[in-house]
C-alpha cells in the first residue's frame, strides 16, 4: 500500500506476535492485490484498464467497496472523490505549474463516471481511473482490527503511514490511547484520546511545505485544483474508513463547509490542527 505500518502490542509474547503479524501481512497482501493501482495485476487495475469497454464483473468485496465509495461521495457533497487521479496527473505534468485542467481531463472525472449495475460496474468513458488509496488504508486498518479482535487482543496501537492511527482498547497505564498531532511552530500540539477509535490526518505537512509549495498533493474535487494551503485536519471516528474518508474530504472542503458536511455524520470529531494559511483550497 506504499506506506509504513507500525503496530504496538503491549505485553504480547513473541509467538502470538509472529502469528498475528503473519496473518496481518497476508491480509494486507490480499488487499493490495484487490485495491492497489500500483500493481498491474490487481482487480482494481484490471477495472481501470477495461472498465470503459463495457460492464465488468468484479468480486463481491470490490463491488461493496465501490458502492460504499459512491455513498460516501454523496455524503461528503462530492468532496470525497476517488476519480481525481487524471486531474492530479495533469496538474503535475510538464513543469507542474498548470492551474486549470483541460476539458478532456475534466470529462474523465466525477463519481458519476462510475456506473454500478447489477452484473458489475463500468465507466462512462475511457481515461477514467479510480484510486482507492485513502479508503484502502482505512479498510486495511479495519481488517487488522478484526484480526486482532478475533484473536482476543484488547489492547494495541496501529499506525498506518502515521496519518491513520487506531487505538484498540486503551494504553495499559491509561484510560485511552492519547495521540498528539504536531502543530505549527511552537504552538501546543492537539491531543486526541482514542479508545476503539481511529484518527486520520490529512493535509500538507510542514515537512513537505517546500515540496508542495507549487503543486500540492491533494486535488479539490469541486474546484479541480491542487490544494496548496499549509494545513492539516484530523478526524476521529469509530470506523477507520470513515476517519480516513472524512479527513480527506474536509481538507478539501475547508473549515466552514466541513461543519455542514459533518452535521449528518454523528460521532465524528474533527479539528483543524493547523489553520489555513495562504494558498488555494
Residue ranges binding other proteins (CB under 8 A): 2-4, 6, 8, 10, 157, 159, 161-163, 165, 171-174, 177-182, 189, 191-192, 199, 201-205, 207-208, 232, 234, 273
Environment class of 202 (CB within 10 Å of its CB; exposed 0-12, middle 13-18, buried 19+): buried
Contact 123, 51 (CB under 8 A): yes
Q: Least distance (Å) from other proteins to the CB of residue 137?
A: 8
Q: Least distance (Å) from other proteins to the CB of residue 21?
A: 13
Q: Least distance (Å) from other proteins to the CB of residue 23?
A: 20
Compute the C-alpha angle 96/102/104, nearest 5°. 125
Residue 47 grid coordinates: 477495472
> Of 125 and 211, which CB lies nearer to other proteins in the complex structure?
211
Q: Least distance (Å) from other proteins to the CB of residue 151?
A: 19
Contact 12, 24 (CB under 8 A): no
Contact 246, 265 (CB under 8 A): yes
> Of 42 and 202, which CB lies nearer to other proteins in the complex structure?
202
* Residues facing residue 236 across a β-bridge: 199, 269
> Of 56 and 232, which CB lies nearer to other proteins in the complex structure?
232
Per-residue DSSP letter, 56: B
239-255 as b/e: b if 16+ CB within 10 A: bbbbbbbbbbbbbbbbe
> Of 161 and 275, which CB lies nearer to other proteins in the complex structure?
161
> Of 189 and 267, which CB lies nearer to other proteins in the complex structure?
189
**Separation of CA 152 from chain center:** 27
Q: Least distance (Å) from other proteins to the CB of residue 232?
A: 7
> Of 34 and 165, which CB lies nearer to other proteins in the complex structure?
165
Q: Least distance (Å) from other proteins to the CB of residue 134?
A: 9
Amino acid at each position: 500500500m506504499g506506506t509504513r505500518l507500525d503496530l504496538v502490542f503491549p505485553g504480547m509474547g513473541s509467538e502470538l506476535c509472529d502469528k498475528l503479524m503473519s496473518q496481518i501481512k497476508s491480509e494486507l497482501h490480499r488487499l493490495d492485490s484487490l485495491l492497489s493501482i500500483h500493481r498491474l495485476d490487481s482487480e482494481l487495475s484490471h477495472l481501470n484498464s477495461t472498465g470503459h469497454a463495457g460492464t465488468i464483473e468484479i468480486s463481491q468485496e470490490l463491488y461493496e467497496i465501490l458502492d460504499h465509495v459512491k455513498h460516501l461521495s454523496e455524503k461528503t457533497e462530492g468532496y470525497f472523490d476517488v476519480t481525481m487521479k487524471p486531474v492530479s496527473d495533469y496538474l503535475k505534468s510538464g513543469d507542474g505549474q498548470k492551474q486549470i485542467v483541460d476539458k478532456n481531463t475534466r470529462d474523465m472525472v466525477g463519481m458519476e463516471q462510475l456506473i454500478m449495475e447489477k452484473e458489475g460496474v463500468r465507466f462512462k468513458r475511457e481515461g477514467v481511473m479510480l484510486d482507492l488509496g485513502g479508503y484502502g488504508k482505512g479498510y486495511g486498518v479495519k481488517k487488522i482490527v478484526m484480526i486482532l479482535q478475533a484473536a482476543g487482543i484488547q489492547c494495541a496501537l496501529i499506525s498506518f503511514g502515521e496519518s491513520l492511527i487506531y487505538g484498540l482498547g486503551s494504553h495499559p497505564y491509561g484510560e485511552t490511547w492519547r495521540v498528539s498531532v504536531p502543530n505549527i511552530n511552537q504552538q501546543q500540539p492537539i491531543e486526541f484520546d482514542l479508545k476503539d477509535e481511529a484518527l486520520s490526518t490529512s493535509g500538507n505537512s510542514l515537512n513537505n511545505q517546500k515540496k508542495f509549495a507549487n503543486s500540492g498533493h491533494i486535488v479539490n474535487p469541486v474546484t479541480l485544483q491542487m490544494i496548496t494551503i499549509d494545513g492539516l485536519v484530523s478526524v476521529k471516528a469509530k470506523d477507520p474508513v470513515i476517519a480516513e474518508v472524512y479527513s480527506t474530504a474536509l481538507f478539501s472542503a475547508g473549515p466552514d463547509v466541513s461543519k455542514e458536511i459533518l452535521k449528518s455524520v454523528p460521532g465524528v470529531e474533527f479539528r483543524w490542527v493547523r489553520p489555513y494559511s495562504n494558498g488555494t483550497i
